[in-house]
Amino acid sequence: MTWLFVTFLVIFSLFKILVTCLPSGVVEWLTGKFQVHVKLEESNVQVTFGGKRLEGSDKSRFIQNFNEAVFMERYYIYPGDEPLYVNPKNAGTPFVIETTKGKNAVKLFVYRYDDHIDVVKQYKKKTAAYCLRSDSLQTCGGMKTADLI
């Protein structure tokens, strides 16, 4: 019984030391696996608004503002309610961002409102929705999405 306790104590202590002293690369990889609001790179992103692709400085400014936006909260989507989030009523025309994360294609729908931004992320047959705060994205050139309808 004593040997069992000592063995368990040694194994648990080694596990605790290993987990608390992980290299920063491993920690970044682990947190990146569960990150909801991904940072975009301009090289592998296509941004469209109303069927027209954003190019040049507009695209880079939009991506920079999107990356600097503050994550507020994640919305829970009940099974079967995905279409209500992808095509909400009274939301206007979304910015559609198409990118890849690893081998998987990711599609982001960005809906702008006066006080927040809703983002709906579709990947691997899953849908996630969350809310952002960004003054520069909410105004984006002085126009709001509702004005463009």
Selected residue with higher pLDDT from 140 and 5: 5
In this predicted model, what pLDDT tens digit does every residue of 9-42 receive, in sequence order? 999 999 988 878 888 888 888 887 787 888 888 8
Confidence check: pLDDT of 144 > 60: no
Residue 75 · residue 129 · CB < 8 Å: yes
Q: Residue 149 above 50 pLDDT?
A: no
State the SS3 of 11-68.
Answer: HHHHHHHHHHCCCHHHHHHHHHHCCCCCCCCHHHCEEEECCEECCHHHHHHHHHHHHH
Domain ranges of the chain: 30-133
How far, in Å, CA of 121 to CA of 27, rounded?
Answer: 24
**What pLDDT, on a 0 to 100 scale, did the predictor assign at position 82?**
83
Model pLDDT, residue 90? 75
Do 66 and 137 contact (CB within 8 A), yes or no? yes
pLDDT digits (tens, 9 = 90+) for 67-105: 999 889 998 988 888 888 887 877 788 899 999 887 888
pLDDT mean across residues, the chain: 84
**What is the rounded end-to-end Cα distance, in angstroms, of the chain?**
74
Torsion of CA 33, 75, 43, 135, to 10 degrees: -130
pLDDT at 145 over 70: no
CA distance 103 to 43: 16
Q: For residue 146, count other CB atoms closer than 10 A to its CB.
A: 13
Query: Residue 59: which residues within 8 A CB-CB, separation 6 or more?
Result: 42, 45, 47
Residues 6+ apart with CB under 8 A from 135: none
Q: What is the length of the chain?
A: 149
pLDDT grade for 142, boundaries at 50, 70 and 90? very low
φ and ψ of 10, to 5 deg: -65, -45
pTM: 0.74
